[in-house]
Structure formats: structure tokens, C-alpha cells
Amino acid sequence: MPQARFGAVDPRARVVLSVGFALVTVGLSELVALFAALAMATGLMIMAHLPVGSTLRRMAAMDLFIFALIAMLPFTTPGTPMFTIFGFEASREGLYHAVQIALTANAVALAMLALLGTMEAVTLGHALHALRCPERLVQLMMFTVRYIEVLGEEYARMRQAMRARGFRPRSNWHSYRSYGYLVGMMLVRAIERSERILGAMKCRGFTGRIPLLERFEMRRRDWQFVAGFAVALAVLVGIEVANVFV
């Protein structure tokens, strides 16, 4: 986990500001304002000392996920034709919407990585609980984060056992059935593990609530960071409004 400059900022403030940035950015429609939001998110990445290589790889994975949607928009949105590919006309309005979506998604994802991705999962859970988020949802998130790695190790052991028995994946019914059995066993073992964990927690006095020992307090530097961030968001809104009425 990188040592982020945001580590000294109150986690509750980081959560609220990340949500505020996402809401403001999603509400923008002018390309100038969206580019400014992306520049702001890039500045947050630099301030958070995020590794450039791994961060760009994460962003590329997200871009590949939405690439199909973005690529289809120019051909499915009616408007002024720009060019034609295999008889399909691409409209200027569709291309504009595609660029809007790409800028919005990248700006929000980059800001989330900077503000929340540099935070420990337990700290994030405590911050959400302090912000009065539903306690069950917070507990579910913390347990999920805790046991994803455990389930990953279980999956790796089962795959290794399949390879030791000579299994080689192919495009046939035997491979499909084998993967079906693998998924089924993963579900069965997950249920068994959850029952053992619940029993162990009850033995330790678990009553349905997780005691949170960490207490947060907003200090002067936290309020300064919040004020600066709010000014930056106001600038984004001002750029949007100025370009709308130009």
C-alpha cells in the first residue's frame, strides 16, 4: 500500500469528498469541464503518490470493459453523420457522448483510486460506520474484503489438485462439467467456512455487532483540505456553467 499524503486526512472526509467529486463529475457535460475534472483527478493521483504504472494498468482494464459501449455509441446515436464504416454511419453527437463517458469514467475512477484506494479496508469500514452507513452492509464489506484472499487460495488449491489428476482445459463437455464441479465445490466450501467462522466468533462473544475501537476527529488540516477540495469542485461547476452560456 503506497504511503499516501492523504493518510493524515480524516477518512470520513475522504469518503464524503470522493462521493462529492463523483456526483459533480457525473453532472458535467461540457468537454472543457470534463477535461478539468480529469486533470484534478490526475493531481489527486500525484498527491497520493500512486504508482503510475499499476494505476494506468487498472485504468486500462476499466477502459477495456467500457470500450464496447463507447465504440457503439457513434453508430447508434442519431445525428450529424461524420464517417461511414461498412455502411454504418457514425454521428457527431454519438462521438461526443462517447468522449463524455470516457472522460467521466476515467476521472471518477482515478479520483476514487487516489482518495479511497490508498485507504485500508478496515479504515474504510470504520469511516462508513462513522458516517452512519447501514451497519450490516459495513460488516458485509469488511468480511468480504477479509475472505476474498482466503477463497482465492482455496480456488488455487483445487485447481492444482485438478492439474495433478491430469486435467487439461479444452472446449468439450468434460471441461465444462469439471469447471461446474469446481464452482460448486467452491460454494460448498465457502458455506462450510462461513459456518466455522460464525461458530468461532460466537465463542468469542460476537453478538451481531463489531466493536470499533478507532475514533475519528476532524482537525484543522482536515477542514483546510475539505475547503480546498470544495473550491476545486466549485471551479469545475463554474467552468461547466460558463461554457453552457457561451
> How many Cα atoms are found within 13 Å in the side-chain-facing hemisphere of 35?
5
Burial class (CB in 10 A: 0-12, 13-18, 19+), 20: middle
- pTM score: 0.78
CA distance 226 to 171: 55
What is the pLDDT confidence band of residue 1, given thresholds at 50, 70 and 90?
A: very low
CA distance 159 to 157: 5
What is the pLDDT confidence band of residue 246, given thresholds at 50, 70 and 90?
A: low
Q: What is the pLDDT of residue 214?
A: 67
Q: What is the pLDDT of residue 226?
A: 92
Q: What would the pLDDT profile of 139-150 be if each residue is shown by its tens digit?
A: 888 888 878 877
Q: What would the pLDDT profile of 99-156 be if each residue is shown by its tens digit?
A: 898 899 999 999 999 998 888 888 888 888 888 888 888 888 888 887 887 788 888 8
What are residue 90's DSSP bridge partners?
Answer: 83
Q: Hey, which of 2-6, 94-98, 227-231 has the most confident mean pLDDT?
A: 227-231
What is the pLDDT confidence band of residue 212, given thresholds at 50, 70 and 90?
A: low
Is residue 245's pLDDT more than 80?
Answer: no
DSSP track, 109-138: HHHHHHHTTTS-HHHHHHHHHHTT--HHHH
Q: What would the pLDDT profile of 185-201 be if each residue is shown by its tens digit?
A: 888 888 888 888 888 88
Average pLDDT, the chain: 84
| Grid cell of 175 as nine digits | 471441461
